[in-house]
Amino acid sequence: MKKIILIYMIISLWSYGYDYPYKDPYLATVLATPPKDMAVFKDTNFKEIKLNLKNEKAPSNLWYLDGFRFGLMAQDHEAPLIFLLAGTGSQYNSYKMLTMSRILYENGFSVIMFPTSFDYNFIISASKTHAPGFLKRDSNEIYDIMGLALNKIKDKIQYKEIYATGYSLGGTTALVLGEIDSRKKHFNFKRIVAVNPTINLYESAKILDNMLDDNIKNEEELDQLLQNIILGVTQYSQNNKNMQIDEAAIYSLFKQLNMSEEELKILIGVAFRFIAIDINYISDLMTKSGVYTDPNKKITKFQNMSEYYSAINYSNFQNYIERIGFKTYKKLDKTLTMKKMIKNSSLKFIENYLKSAKNIAVITNEDELILTPDNLEYLKKIMAGKIKIYPYGGHCGNMFL
């Protein structure tokens, strides 16, 4: 039976062969695991669960996002329970999340599937600030909601021990949740595994922003490129009725093309830019910051969005932090500086925990795209004896090998 690297990390050791085919990190990120190496899944006991957290209701034009949603794949017998956390901008039921959940489920776990803090459903229905990006604050909110989620489904599952894992931003968050739980002890996680985590949210976002910005000549070229991708993904989705228009969909559309390294960088940057556009719009709307939207203008259920997206003008993640995120947090802490905010969006604020914790582990790649060389060296040092680094695989490319 096919198993992802994660299973080996959670259950046992990691001494086995490695035959991932793509040695180019950009190609690996886009193409991921070849279909011939993927598991064939049976039907799973999947349910969507809704939590009403009594936060501010969704705006009229986003009525379908009212209430916090997460996923559950529950065994019909007592089984280890694992919280699975999504990557940047991903919903709980994105392609990668469903794939990871099915593998975990087929290997005996009951799985609770959580979105990232940058998912628009989380921003609207779960975040108290409606402005994600402050890792410490986001993780504490997620920790509290995990407790509510577990209480919501307590009659649907039988378990004795609890694990946590996640990929990309979800992996980073899982480690912070471990630090929180080491103090609060609500879950007493048996083991925590971070797959391709980032070290610093701001630095990783800057890398992804620059993949697009550094390889596009001007605004007109960017506009034409994104319009073509929107059209292509829309047409592609018409033939794949259950497909979500997300990072995986954009990659699927272009994965058969023989693309240059520059084109692959642009493609990865585009996938991230669509996430950044959503965050800029939704956070501005919910915080009433007035950067792109008029906070005094009533929004209707069938609001024409063209004027808002024209105002956003393909703004990136750094724009979001500078225009919305930082200003929102500054209202809560008058002493906050950009330097302090960036520091608190880094794993370095839980450094002592990372050094001492015995139940945590990290999987990443030597050619990981979202880590600077300094970030990777920091991980190697701080997680010595608790980290497995593969020679190649890009960002989450080899996750399902």
* DSSP line for 131-190: ----HHHHHHHHHHHHHHHHHHTTTT---S-EEEEEETHHHHHHHHHHHHHHHH-SS--S
Q: Kindly state whether residues 139 and 213 are assigned to the same domain.
A: no
Structure tokens at 343: 């520091």
Examine residue 323 and state whether it is found in any structural domain, yes or no. Answer: yes
Examine residue 400 and state whether it is found in any structural domain, yes or no. Answer: no
Residue recorded with tokens 């319009």: 227
Q: Kindly state whether residues 333 and 356 are assigned to the same domain.
A: no
**Residue 31: predicted pLDDT:** 82
Domain that includes residue 288, residue range = 205-339
**Residue 280: predicted pLDDT:** 93
Q: Kindly state whether residues 149 and 242 are assigned to the same domain.
A: no
**Residue 150: predicted pLDDT:** 96
State the Cα–Cα distance between residues 117 and 130, nearest whole angstrom. Answer: 10
Q: Find the CATH number of the domain harbouring 147.
A: 3.40.50.1820
Domain boundary residue among 319, 339, 359?
Answer: 339
Examine residue 395 and state whether it is found in any structural domain, yes or no. Answer: no
**Residue 40: predicted pLDDT:** 74
Q: Kindly state whether residues 84 and 232 are assigned to the same domain.
A: no
Q: Kindly state whether residues 194 and 327 are assigned to the same domain.
A: no
Work out how many domains the chain is built from and give that number: 2
Q: How many CA atoms lie within 13 A of 348 on its CB side?
A: 16
Residue 246 one-letter amino acid: D
Q: Kindly state whether residues 173 and 292 are assigned to the same domain.
A: no
Q: Kindly state whether residues 26 and 149 are assigned to the same domain.
A: yes
Examine residue 110 and state whether it is found in any structural domain, yes or no. Answer: yes
Q: Kindly state whether residues 37 and 156 are assigned to the same domain.
A: yes
Examine residue 396 and state whether it is found in any structural domain, yes or no. Answer: no
String of b and e for 84-100 (b: at least 16 CB within 10 Å)? bbbbbbbbbbbbbbbbb
Examine residue 306 and state whether it is found in any structural domain, yes or no. Answer: yes
Q: Kindly state whether residues 170 and 232 are assigned to the same domain.
A: no
Q: Kindly state whether residues 319 and 351 are assigned to the same domain.
A: no
Closest CA to 251 of 271, 273, 265: 271
Examine residue 351 and state whether it is found in any structural domain, yes or no. Answer: yes
Q: Kindly state whether residues 188 and 300 are assigned to the same domain.
A: no
Q: Is 68:126 a contact under the CB 8 Å cutoff? A: yes
Q: Are strands 162-167 and 110-114 parallel, antiparallel or unpaired?
A: unpaired
Examine residue 399 and state whether it is found in any structural domain, yes or no. Answer: no
Alpha-carbon distance values, 171 to 96, 165, 197 (Å): 13, 6, 5
**Residue 256: predicted pLDDT:** 57
Closest CA to 33 of 43, 53, 19, 46: 19
String of b and e for 165-176 (b: at least 16 CB within 10 Å)? bbbbbbbbbbbb
> 150 CB contacts (<8 Å, ≥6 apart)?
112, 187
Reading the chain (401 residues) residue by residue, the pLDDT tens digits are 344 445 544 544 444 567 888 899 998 998 888 777 777 777 678 899 999 886 667 888 887 777 899 999 999 999 999 999 999 878 888 888 999 999 999 889 999 999 989 998 899 989 999 999 999 999 999 999 999 999 999 998 999 899 999 999 999 999 999 999 999 999 999 999 999 999 999 999 999 999 988 888 777 777 776 666 666 666 655 555 554 555 666 666 666 556 778 888 888 898 888 889 889 999 999 999 999 988 888 877 777 766 777 788 779 999 999 999 999 999 999 999 998 888 888 999 999 999 999 999 999 999 999 999 999 999 999 999 999 999 999 999 998 87
State the Cα–Cα distance between residues 131 and 165, nearest whole angstrom. Answer: 23
- The CA-based angle 348-349-351, given to 5 degrees, is 60
Helix (H) or strand (E) holding 66: none
Q: Kindly state whether residues 267 and 310 are assigned to the same domain.
A: yes
